[in-house]
Chains A and B, each alone.
Chain A
């Protein structure tokens, strides 16, 4: 029987990739963020997950406004990065786990989550950066992935409540999977930030603390705000907290926080790195 070994949550600001590329991790500006990663790397080295179920949002690489799925589940043999418009070096290709992907898709639809099924899917910095942070410098990824994309681009977005419910349905799907893989849950993005508009540069540590303080023990507390109220408190891109909420749901009913790092600013963003451990029922 598959086992969920933990939940890893971190921000995915493109500039993190730039800092790693330049070797700037120990610069005073970046160090407080990168200091949050060694405990995650230690946990991963000890727990050795085989597959990661990753909740993130596309940034205009795989999806355009012509067809914008609310929830998209990858079922591809592999997931490549591609030019995101800036001509930067490409991130490594991830091996997929199509059998687990299709199991999750079938279980989700059975559970009345009518997801979009993707046998081809490009993945962008939002997915790659957390893995670069977790396994810096590896030649090839030591883990397969099942990516689940949540629309944070085109409103109406799914509600926080629905997103948590999706995550919980993914947890049930993993519980009914016949394989014996060790499964890592990943949530990427956030925390508070806003890139666009006259309010650009908005961050909100008090809302971030609220989210971090409730994520493990009472994730339903994060679902009482409407999307509009989440945007008000977290910023237009702070709604990426939806990825975290879904990932928390996928950990199961009870979880406890093992590690937390919070720092602002990196680039225009308040950033956090968290590890949660599921608690057996």
Chain B
């Protein structure tokens, strides 16, 4: 079989790629399989304990790539996503690190957790101001 028939070795790019966004498509699914499988295993409390006890050994057991092991060791969420991590599974790893979705948001956007929370709150305020403005001005 001609390997060129399977050109899925890079993330699928789209002429209208969405900034700051990775679509979890075939390339990511293949690249991230080991990392996501490890994260899926964390649905079991004993597996979470085993990871806590020896991170490197646990990552090795699931056959993580160097890139994936490095991103996990550095708590680098964007690095995990680049290495094929899917947020639905990475959320379980984030839980082990004691990170909630605002913490994870702050890590990915390079802001403080307070700054990230405020950014979310500001979107609510902006929306309500617009709605109020429409009520006043028709």
Q: A200 with B109: in contact, given A60-B39, A263-B124, A265-B124 (CB under 8 Å)?
A: yes
The yes or no answer to B7 lying at the interface (CB within 8 A) is: no
Least Cβ distance of A160 to chain B in Å?
16
> Interface size of A by Cβ–Cβ distance < 8 Å?
38
Q: A228 with B14: in contact, given A154-B24, A201-B119 (CB under 8 Å)?
A: yes
Q: Is the interface of B mostly helix, strand, loop or mixed?
A: helix
In the bound complex, do residue A200 and residue B104 qualify as a contact, i.e. CB atoms below 8 Å apart?
yes
In the bound complex, do residue B88 and residue A153 qualify as a contact, i.e. CB atoms below 8 Å apart?
yes
How many residue pairs, one in A and one in B, have C-beta atoms under 8 Å apart?
130
Least Cβ distance of A234 to chain B in Å?
11
In the bound complex, do residue A84 and residue B92 qualify as a contact, i.e. CB atoms below 8 Å apart?
yes
Mark each residue of chain B from 109 to 138: 1 if its CB lies under 8 Å from any CB of chain A, else 0: 100000010011101100100100000000
In the bound complex, do residue B45 and residue A201 qualify as a contact, i.e. CB atoms below 8 Å apart?
no
Give every chain A residue within 8 A of B39 (Cβ-Cβ).
60, 85
Give every chain A residue within 8 A of B130 (Cβ-Cβ).
205
The yes or no answer to B57 lying at the interface (CB within 8 A) is: no
Q: Once bound together, how far apart are the Cα atoms of A83 and B89, in whole Å?
A: 13
In the bound complex, do residue B120 and residue A265 qualify as a contact, i.e. CB atoms below 8 Å apart?
yes
| Cβ contact of A86, chosen from B78, B86, B95, B119, cutoff 8 A | B95
Beta-carbon nearest neighbor of B92 in chain A = A85
Q: Once bound together, how far apart are the Cα atoms of A155 and B109, in whole Å?
A: 24
Beta-carbon nearest neighbor of B33 in chain A = A65
Give every chain B residue within 8 A of A264 (Cβ-Cβ).
120, 123-124, 127
Identify 21 residue pairs between A and B in the complex whose beta-carbon atoms are under 8 Å apart, listed by A's number.
A60-B40, A61-B43, A64-B40, A65-B29, A65-B36, A85-B42, A153-B24, A155-B25, A195-B87, A196-B77, A196-B87, A198-B21, A199-B20, A203-B123, A205-B127, A228-B14, A231-B18, A265-B121, A265-B124, A268-B102, A270-B123
